[in-house]
Amino acid sequence: MTNTDCWISISENSDFSIHNIPFGIFSTKSNTLRAGVAIGDQILDLVVASELGVFNSLDFNPYVFESKTLNDFIALGKEITSKVRTIIQEELTNVDSVLKTDSSVFVNQKEVQMHLPVFVGDYTDFYSSIEHATNVGTMFRDPNNALLPNWKHIPVGYHGRASSIIVSGVDVHRPMGQTIAPDAKEPTYGPSKRVDFELEMAYIIGKKTSLGDTVKVENAEEYIFGKVLFNDWSARDIQKWEYVPLGPFLAKNFASSISPWIVTMDALEPFKVAGPEQTPKVLPYLEYKGERNYDIELQVAIKSESGEETVVSNSNFKYMYWNMAQQLAHHTMNGCNINVGDMMGSGTISGKSTDSYGSMLELSWAGKNPIQLKDGTQRTFIADNDTVVMRGFCQKDGKKVGFGEVKTKLLPAKQ
């Protein structure tokens, strides 16, 4: 199956190939929020598709496509959702498809508004890139002992704020907070001077557990529906003052931005790769077999107020030290329950080279090495009216599966 087999025109470089079929929630001027699938530069309206009888062979209530979120659809389980995806691929490559009989089944992506694809009840953020953790530890602790003693033994994480997760295109205001100058004895209150992006990916829980249950590494991916791009906004000066002794709080919870299309684990299966060697050996409940990392190319660009865009980072999800299966196994090993729609952030994704770091904190090395933009200005952190754009895709054997982008503008502080 190739893009040329599809009777919908798809650009060779499109993120939304016939191999992808990502799910999202959209609305138009004439239609309320509903579920759709991205294909090329179009959206397949799943409400209309179901009315045409496309999914009649499956036993589920098609009203799930009329919901304001994908939670009810995802909760049907992969025995249904994977078949829905396969049927869509079959219809899009069938020249006699019933989808050709109703022109309203397709909508141009430029004519819609995208919404949060799921209701996020809970959000957890991990700290799973060894390159990122080493960089931060080198900057703020000891270059010769950058990682804390537990880092190679557990996937470190913390519980974030689900209410401030926003979809691409929603602007963010520079946060206010307490900070303290290097030589000052007392903190001051005002706008953060060190607003930063964090290049992350997040996965969406697709299967719930009960309180007291655990998820094993070997079947963890059964509980993951798909993935999105994730920009975990951070205020580094606020973070530095507040994180001791309990960890991230106001520096992290003012906003986190996600891409609107959820790329399923089915679509990502061909892009599995081996992860980095884990030394020392992990405890038995974190041991895994096979390839559990994913080769996903990632990019971050800053678009200044002048309108010019500068790529500042090229990274890859395959660098992650702790994989998603280990993260989920560790998250639930104490009996913590998970629910459909819960979101798990990977933590900042940094590579080994300086141009693959996943935050301005690292790229500018805490402000010491300014980044030159194409419009002639420099950045150590994100300036007011800058737009941060993150993109990601997989490519192998002529197949491309992409995530689109997550784009967010930083507005001045509300004082």
Whether 132 is catalytic? yes
- Give the length of the chain: 415
Which domain range does residue 250 map to?
123-411
Question: What CATH number is attached to the domain comprising 80?
Answer: 2.30.30.230
Res 16: pLDDT: 98
Task: Select from 79, 94, 115 the last residue of a domain.
Answer: 115
pLDDT digits (tens, 9 = 90+) for 223-270: 999 999 999 999 999 999 999 888 899 999 999 999 999 999 999 999
Name the DSSP letter for residue 367: T
- Say if residues 172 and 231 touch (Cβ distance below 8 Å): no
Q: 19, 132, 330, 331: which one is catalytic?
A: 132
- Pair 289, 306 in one domain: yes
What is residue 125's predicted lDDT score, i.e. its pLDDT?
A: 98
Last residue of a domain, one of 115, 148, 165: 115
Same-domain pairing of 307 and 252? yes
pLDDT of residue 239: 95
pLDDT of residue 143: 87
Structural domain count, the chain: 2
Percent of the chain with pLDDT over 70: 100
- Same domain for 101 and 155? no
pLDDT tens by residue, 14-64? 999 999 999 999 999 999 999 999 999 999 999 999 999 999 999 999 999
CA–CA gap between residue 397 and residue 5 (Å, rounded):
16
Residues 41 and 179 both lie in one domain: no
Predicted local confidence at residue 142, as pLDDT: 86
Residues 200 and 328 in one domain: yes
pLDDT tens string 297-333: 999 999 999 889 999 999 999 999 999 999 999 999 9
pLDDT of the residue at 141? 85
Q: What is the pLDDT of residues 371-390, one digit of tens each?
A: 999 999 999 999 999 999 99
pLDDT band at 4 (very low <50, low <70, confident <90, very high): confident
User: Which helix (H) or strand (E) element contains residue 392?
Assistant: strand 387-396
Q: What is the mean pLDDT of residues 129-152?
A: 94
Do 90 and 32 lie in one domain? The reply is yes
- 336 neighbors 158 (Cβ within 8 angstroms): no
Instruction: State whether 18 and 96 are in the same domain.
Output: yes
Whether residues 164 and 245 share a domain: the answer is yes
Whole-structure pTM value:
0.97
Q: Are residues 15 and 128 in the same domain?
A: no
The per-residue pLDDT for 307 is 86
> Pairing state of beta strands 199-205 and 343-345?
antiparallel
What is residue 233's predicted lDDT score, i.e. its pLDDT?
98
Average pLDDT rounded to a whole number, residues 206-217: 98
Q: Are 107 and 127 part of one and the same domain?
A: no
CATH number at residue 356: 3.90.850.10
| Residue that is last in its domain, among 94, 115, 136 | 115
The answer to whether residues 109 and 131 belong to one domain is no
The answer to whether 33 and 26 are in contact (CB under 8 A) is yes
Residues 107, 210, single domain; the answer is no
Higher pLDDT, 98 or 415: 98
